Amino acid sequence: MAKLRERYANALLALSEENGTLAEDLQQAILIRDTLKKVDLQSFLLHPQVPDATKEQFFRNTFAGSLSGRLLGFLSLMVRKNREVLILPVLAEYIDLANRRLGIIEAKVVSAVTLTEKQREAIRTVLTKKTGMQVELKAEVDPGVLGGFYILIAGRIFDRTVRSDLHLLRDRLKRGGYA
């Protein structure tokens, strides 16, 4: 599955670069990904008794005027080949590859409370310096964090939450680090 995902993502990337539409196609891929993440739509797309023609019509109706023929063709191909389950993984891989080609990296910051624009900008600035890439920051609120925040970027986690600090303190106390 991973090889197939990479093959489709690389083919989409090559097509975008060949047509000089990488930035445009990237935005459209993000639109598709965000739309299809909804559970109801996944159930619909993966249901074996929904005819392919109905799925393709759904794509045409949902994304009318929003997608290029290339991306509509990709969605249609995935349906015809019964690879609907790969649509989101391929799009995720494509988005990552396209972002890297454009010098962009996505990061998600999760905090206990809503961050101010100044705080988000400070985090974005630090991440930009660390990665050498333009950072697109998505902020989420999770009251379970207790305090502080954690960042997910390029498969890594930077954890500055109160919860992780408390776990570290507990572990040190168990080992006799604070006597």
In this structure, are 58 and 86 located in the same domain?
A: yes
- Write down the pLDDT at residue 172: 85
Q: Do the bridges between strand 134-141 and strand 104-111 make them parallel or antiparallel, or are there none, so unpaired? A: parallel
Q: What is the CATH number of the domain that holds 136?
A: 3.40.30
Tokens of 81: 């080949």
- DSSP E strand boundaries for the chain: 104-111, 134-141, 148-153, 156-161
Chosen domain end from 100, 117, 139: 100
- Compute the average pLDDT of residues 174-179: 70
In this structure, are 17 and 57 located in the same domain?
A: yes
In this structure, are 40 and 52 located in the same domain?
A: yes
Read off the pLDDT of residues 123-172 as tens digits, 9 standing for 90 and up.
999 999 998 999 999 999 998 888 889 999 988 898 888 888 888 888 88
In this structure, are 45 and 125 located in the same domain?
A: no
Number of domains in the chain: 2
Chosen domain end from 67, 100, 133: 100
153 lies in which domain range? 103-175
- Compute the average pLDDT of residues 9-35: 94
